[in-house]
Structure 1
Amino acid sequence: MHTTNKPRVPLSLLMVVGIIAISFSAIFVKWSEAPAPVIAMNRLLLTVLVMLPFIFKYVPEFRKISLKSYGLLVASGVSLGLHFLFWMESLRFTSVASSTAILTLEPVLVMVGSFWIFRHKTSKVALFAMAIAVFGAVLIGWGDFKFSGDALQGDILSFLGTVAVAVHMIIGKSLIEHMSAYVYSLFVFLIGAIVLGIYNVGAGYSLVDYPAHEWGLFLLLAIVPTIFGHYLFNWLLKYMQATSVSMSVLGEPLGATILAYFLLHENITAIQLVAGLLLLVGVGGFIHSQEKGSSSEHPPLAERALQKEASI
């Protein structure tokens, strides 16, 4: 069987696709009038339904998963559910720019966690690029940060969602090295939906009684930012370090802010434009430095991942 060290499509191009996809998430949430936990639950449930027809060829892999791995899958799914719950709820209290800018702490948290658990080291060049990107992303939302009232509540919720998704990413990296992205994603999305469903029942929210346009938004959230965003990032965990994949979130404030300008009529300042350029330079520099390092330092992992995908 012929294998290569990494997919033929450039990883950086796939990252761009994922960044554009997740940038639509805040827009769809802002358009919806359903409670945030309901949006998150139905987003994940519809994603599972879209993926379900492909499950049959993965049944043997489900049977081989160890009890420990199932426990980690549940933990990852719970973390993802909490991420969606906290982050989507934050958009009810604060702006798109502010909420998504706080998410830029994710790669920092993932980097620390990856070093602690996997001993993954990050080069000085990559750290400098990350600092530039984080600075740019924070600048995008700086004017919208508030330290009192509803906006503060929204910012705190966004931070809690960032911690949750960092845990989800770190656990995902440990699992995705020995299972397919499909199996990991399907299970985690389902657990996340169950967690949110339990919360919604306890909070007294209706689970299905919503008009057609709301279900259209739920479906858009499932297809665009979840399948072309989160699922793609899960797949990229096979070929990139968790810190590198989590850097994709730094592109979301820029993408979401631009989309919010055209679709939600939110303003873009000159500072945000400059910050966006800094962000792009930082993300591009980080990914480039990590791709160079991974191609020379970790070819066996990529090769094993490709062999695993090809054999399923």
Structure 2
Amino acid sequence: MTSIRGDIFLFPVVWVAISSASILVVLSNEPGEVCAFWRLFLSSLILLPLWIQAKKHVKIHHVASGIALSLHFILWMRSLFLIPVYTSTLLVVVYPLYSLVIDILVYKYRPSLIQLLGFAGGVTSLTLFLGVNRLALSQGAVLSLLAGLSVTLYFELG
């Protein structure tokens, strides 16, 4: 097991990789599917040695999780060309709201009062944001929200 001190040096790498993704996608001016393919392909090549070393077998939930991740990237990257980057990013990161709903419905999880208040605040803020920016029926907004749902499925299945 690695120590937190050793992993702390990975945080800047993760931060740069995540925060630069949307900018690089938009600057590439390539379709979302192309960007998603290359992101997943290169990530798979980087992680392949770790997977081989772990000698794990692929199970059906691994495949389903991978499909959900690819859908997340495709939907989100397509939305980047339809709405502003900040809006797309904001809408895709509502996945904790989806996750709480799935945990309640599927796993019979009983959320605490603070979680319910946070959920209500998140939904209210999202509704206000969508209404103010008139994005409720925007194709880009719907793609971003579906990308958030896809990444939720990725996390839940994984």
- Corresponding residue for residue 85 of structure 1: 74
C-alpha offsets along residues 221-279 of structure 1, whole Å, 9 cap, x if unaligned? xxxxxxxxxxxxxxxxxxxxxxxxxxxxxxxxxxxxxxxxxxxxxxxxxxxxxxxxxxx
Aligned residue for 1:55, secondary structure, equals: helix
Residues 1:131 and 1:27: Cα distance change in structure 2 (over 3 Å): farther
Q: Is the 8 A contact 2:71 2:150 kept in 1?
A: yes
How big is the shift at 1:153?
A: 1.3
Question: Aligned residue for 1:102?
Answer: 91
1:80–1:165: 8 Å Cα contact kept in structure 2? yes
Matches within 5 A, 1:142-157: 144-147=133-136, 152-157=138-143
How far apart are residue 57 of structure 1 and its match? 2.2
1:57 alignment partner in structure 2:
53
In the other structure, the counterpart of 1:167 is 153
The separation in 2 between residues aligned to 1:97 and 1:42, in whole angstroms, is 23
Given that 1:97 and 1:140 are in contact with CA atoms closer than 8 Å, whether structure 2 keeps it comes out as no
How far does residue 76 in structure 1 lie from its aligned partner after superposition?
1.1
Matched residue type, 2:154: H
Deviations 1:138-194 (A, max 9, x none): 76776544356xxx111111122122222222112xxxxxxxxxxxxxxxxxxxxxx
Does 2:95 align with 1:112? Answer: no
Alpha-carbon distance between aligned partners in 2 of 1:162 and 1:21, rounded to the nearest angstrom: 18
Q: Which consecutive residues of structure 2, in runs of 5 or more, have no partner in the other structure?
A: none
How far is 1:127 from its partner? 2.7
Identical aligned residues as a percent: 29
CA shift for structure 1 position 46: 0.4
CA 1:115–1:36 in 2, change beyond 3 Å: closer, same or farther? same
SS of alignment partner, residue 81 of structure 2:
coil
Residues 231-270 of structure 1: pairs in structure 2 closer than 5 A:
none
Taking a change above 3 Å as real, the CA distance of residues 105 and 87 of structure 1, as seen in their structure-2 partners, is same
- From 34, 40, 47, the counterpart of 2:36: 40
Q: Give the structure with higher Rg (CA).
A: 1
2-structure distance, mates of 1:33, 1:128: 40
Letter of the 1:72 counterpart: H
- Cα RMSD between the aligned structures? 3.2
Deviation of 1:95 (Å): 0.6
Displacement of 1:137: 6.5
With the length of structure 2 as denominator, give the TM-score of the two structures: 0.77
Shift of 1:88: 0.5
**Hey, what's the Cα distance between the residues in 2 that align with 1:56 and 1:130?**
40
- AA aligned to 1:98 is T
Whether the aligned pair in 2 keeps the contact of 1:101 and 1:138 (CA below 8 Å) is no
Contact in 2 for aligned 1:86/1:161 (Cα 8 Å)? yes
TM-score normalised by L of structure 1 = 0.42
Contact 1:101–1:140 (CA<8 Å) still a contact in 2?
Answer: no
Letter in 2 for 1:71: I
Cα distance change on mapping 1:101 and 1:55 into 2, 3 Å:
closer
- State the AA in 2 paired with 1:75: A
